[in-house]
Amino acid sequence: MPMPDSIQLEARQILDRLASTPFEQCKPLSRKFETIPTRVGLYALRHASEGLLYIGKAKNLRDRFRGGHKAFLWSWLDRYDPNDVRITFTILNNWQRPGLLYELETIILQASNPPYNVKIPKEL
């Protein structure tokens, strides 16, 4: 079943925001992630020069990182300086529609293919 144009457009706008936010405006890594909101949204882990590393969704962005994240381990294994890895996100206010987070994430992953996302859905 094809995706409605409005969801495709919203996904592309979110991807543009995640990919084009100046690195200096992305949130640095921390132990408690106090600068990350406790809201629903999509997020990206970005490297200062390599760009998008990982894209995901969360019903509580701050909690998603407080419990750890595989992308942090992978960036450490790749020997990235922690100062060169940051988080950017976009809050979703209309997430109550069942499946919207998954649909948006799927479209964004298919369009961007970040290296740390190992499972990228083929179709919705």
Low-confidence residues in the chain, pLDDT < 70: 1-3, 95, 120-124
- Predicted pLDDT at 3: 61
Question: What CATH class is the domain 5-112?
Answer: alpha beta
36 CB neighbour count, 10 Å cutoff: 21
Cβ atoms of residues 120 and 113 within 8 Å: yes
Residue 50 tokens, joined? 């390599």
Q: What per-residue confidence (pLDDT) applies to 1?
A: 47
Q: What per-residue confidence (pLDDT) applies to 2? A: 52
